[in-house]
Amino acid sequence: DSPKYANGLFDELSFHQQNDYYSRREMLPGIENTYRNIRYSLEENKDFGLANDFFVGEMEAKRRQLKWWRRWLLSVPAAYKIFSNYGTSPLRVFLWLSLLTFLNAYHLWDYSIYANESLIEINTSEVNISSFDSFETLMNSIKINVEGIRGVLTYSIQTLTLQKDKLEIFDNLPKNSPVYLINTLYAVIGPIIIALFAVSIRTRIKRN
C-alpha cells in the first residue's frame, strides 16, 4: 500500500516502521499536511515535476485515512488512484478508456442491427472450401461481423465523447429498452475519464 514516488519524507519512513494501527492513523494527517505544504512551495517555484511527486504522497496519505472500503473503492481518492494514479499516468487512463469503449460496444451488440445480420451461422466443420457457395457465405458472414464490430465501436466512442449525431445501429427500440440506460451510464463515465486523460497529459507535459 506504499506510494510509488521518487521523493518522500522521513515521517513517511517512520510511518512504515510503525506497527501499531492507531499510531499509524494518527500520523497520516500530519504527513498529508506536510506533503501539501511542500507541494505548494515547489509549485510557487515552478518545480512542477518535484511538486507532482509530493502531490501523489499527499493523496496517498489522504486516502489511507479512509475506511478500508472507501480507501480502495468507494471514494474520490480511490477512483482517482485507480483510473489515473492521481492524474499522473496517461497510459492507465487510456487503457481504462479503451476498456470502457469495448465494454459499451459489447453491451450494445445484442440490441444492434448487426446482431440480427450476423445470425448467419457457419458450421466450419461442414464447410467445403472447394465449394464456391460455401466459401462465399463464409466471407459474407465475416464481412458482416467485421462491419458490425466497427459500427458498435464507433457508436461507443460517440457515446463516450457525447457526440449528438451518432451512427444508426438500432432499429425501432422499445421505450423500455436497456440501451437507454446503458447509453446514459457510459455518457456520464466517458467525459470523466476523458477529463482525467487530459489532466494526466497536462501533468506529464509540465513534468517535462
Same domain, 157 and 175: yes
Same domain, 99 and 137: yes
Q: What percent of the chain has pLDDT over 90?
A: 22
b/e map 58-87, b = 16+ CB within 10 Å: bbbbbbbebeeeebeeebebbebbebbbbb
pLDDT at 194: 93
Quote the pTM value: 0.70
Burial degree of 204 (CB within 10 A; 0-12, 13-18, 19+): middle
Domain contains 172: yes
Amino acid at 54: F
Residue-range definition of the domain harbouring residue 50: 10-86
The values of phi and psi at residue 19, to 5°, are: -90, -25
Domain boundary among 86, 112, 144: 86
pLDDT at 141: 64
pLDDT at 20: 60
CA distances from 175 to 44, 103, 164, 178, 183 (A): 55, 23, 19, 9, 13
Domain boundary among 86, 107, 126: 86
Going 190 to 195 to 196 to 202, the CA torsion angle's sign is: positive
Q: What percent of the chain has pLDDT over 70?
A: 73
Domain contains 139: yes
pLDDT at 122: 45
Domain contains 106: yes
Same domain, 62 and 28: yes
pLDDT at 4: 41
Same domain, 137 and 73: no
Q: How many domains does the chain fold into?
A: 2
Same domain, 61 and 125: no
The average pLDDT across 12-21 equals 57
How does pLDDT run across 24-52, given as a tens digit for each residue? 667 778 888 888 888 888 888 888 878 88
Domain contains 32: yes
Same domain, 121 and 82: no
Same domain, 129 and 154: yes
Domain contains 204: no
Same domain, 104 and 166: yes
Same domain, 96 and 148: yes
pLDDT at 2: 42
The average pLDDT across 171-190 equals 88
Neighbour count for residue 170 (Cβ, 10 Å): 14
Domain contains 2: no
Same domain, 98 and 163: yes
Same domain, 82 and 96: no
Domain contains 199: no
How does pLDDT run across 122-153, given as a tens digit for each residue? 444 444 555 555 556 666 666 767 888 888 99
Residue 121: pLDDT band by 50, 70, 90 thresholds?
A: very low
Q: Which of 81, 91, 90, 40 has its CA nearest to residue 61?
A: 81
Domain boundary among 86, 106, 121: 86
How does pLDDT run across 80-114, given as a tens digit for each residue? 899 988 888 899 999 999 999 999 999 888 888 88
